[in-house]
Amino acid sequence: MLLTLSAFVLALGLLVTFHELGHYWVARRAGVPIVRFSVGFGPVLLRRRDRHGTEWALSAIPLGGYVKMLDEAPPEADEATRRAVFNAQPLARRAAVVAAGPAANLVLAVVIYAFLGLWGTQEPAAVLAAPPAGTPAALAGVQDGDVLRAVAGEPVASWTQARWRLAEPLSLGGDVPVTLKSADGAVRDATLKLAPQAVAPDDPDPLLAAGLALRAPVPVAGELVPGGAAEQAGLRAGDRILAAGGLQRPSVEAFVRTVQAHAGQPLPLVVLRQGDRVSLSVTPRPETAEDGRAVGRIGALIQAERPEVLVRLGPLDSLWQGVRRTADMSLFTLRMMGRMVVGDVSWKNVTGPVTIAEYAGRTARIGLESYLGFLALISISIGVLNLLPIPMLDGGHLLFYLIEALRGGRPLPERARDLGQRLGLGVVLGLMVLALFNDFARLFS
């Protein structure tokens, strides 16, 4: 719980601060006086005033932040201050200040993705399992051990990249060309004929419905108990289990079940040791399980080994990946929002702070790479959400500025702006209530 809360507060604080820094940086370049830059809301805990007169504050509620600019000049202000206030700025400058916050979030995502590409990430290799009969993958001729090399003409180096490339085609349906490399090294093309699938958090994984899944990890012998059945049979640490009895390429779970079912009985094994196939016979020793059954034990730690690839790019390729992945994710988010509006995608996908905190904790437990990827994803979501043309959001202000430009520089009447702000507030509050409802519905379901 502590890790989840810490990861959530750190993520939210970092992303919101970066968003507000975008507003601050452009406003400062435009000469707009900035009264306060606050990390957090509510009572101020710490404050410091810089030489420009800006108060930098740390506030008690770490769920956001804000930049307070001088919108109107006080009566006693001099002429220079009157020209510098935000509302006195030309339309283009005001729009640039407002757009800088969401832009900063998108830039942060580009930087994170570029850093991950340059640093390198260990990702599962896209080695596929045999698809169930009748699934699109089976009908396309996918076989056990095939490696997915490209999706819709785009090369994929890992299962993570393959999942991303398949995300939208799986929801929209249609014919998706893929390139496969079989276990014997032959490369061939195939076409997945996908039916549109519903998109909801509680639905089964659409990849599994299409028959696409990673090959089960190979059981590998780890630490051996001295004098145990495995050691006496000649099993060595690092041996990869290729067959157990009549079971070929067993999963870890299937191998353990087979061992347990052969208490006191010889169990033939075929293992791969330093590139050579070795045949062994081990007799699991009977032991009494907690439920009183006699089960077989061989005295070996059995580990799961899944092939992984190191995905690492050069500086320019990393930067291009960051730009492209951020752009793809932004467009994907917008398309998903549009499909929610027309009813093609479930509104259950709208999530709030509880779900975000849960995923912050999960990714933090996995490691720094996963947590940084999570930060990039949420940063894109914040950037895209704030650009929506809804009053109360940055995009709503930009919409007002667009109308002002179309009116020849004349702002909307104050009454119209107030009505828009109220409608926008209603939409934002409604989305917040929906997000919290979905969060707690998942939490208690």
Task: Please give the positions annotated as active site.
Answer: 20
Q: How far apart are CA 118 and CA 100, in angstroms?
A: 26
Q: What is the chain's percent helix, strand, coil content, to nearest 5? A: 45, 25, 30
Residue 389, classed as helix, strand or coil, is: coil
Q: Which of 342, 355, 345 is nearest to 437 (CA)?
A: 355
User: Is the four-CA dihedral 107, 109, 110, 115 of positive or negative sign?
Assistant: positive
Burial 177-187 (b: 16+ CB within 10 A, else e): ebbbbeeeeee
CA atoms within 13 A on the CB side of 123: 22
Is residue 9 within 8 Å of residue 19, measured between CB atoms?
no
Which secondary structure element, helix H or strand E, spans residue 382, and what is its range?
helix 368-386
Is residue 98 within 8 Å of residue 391, measured between CB atoms?
no
Radius of gyration from C-alpha coordinates of the chain: 29
Q: Which two tokens stand for residue 2?
A: 């502590």
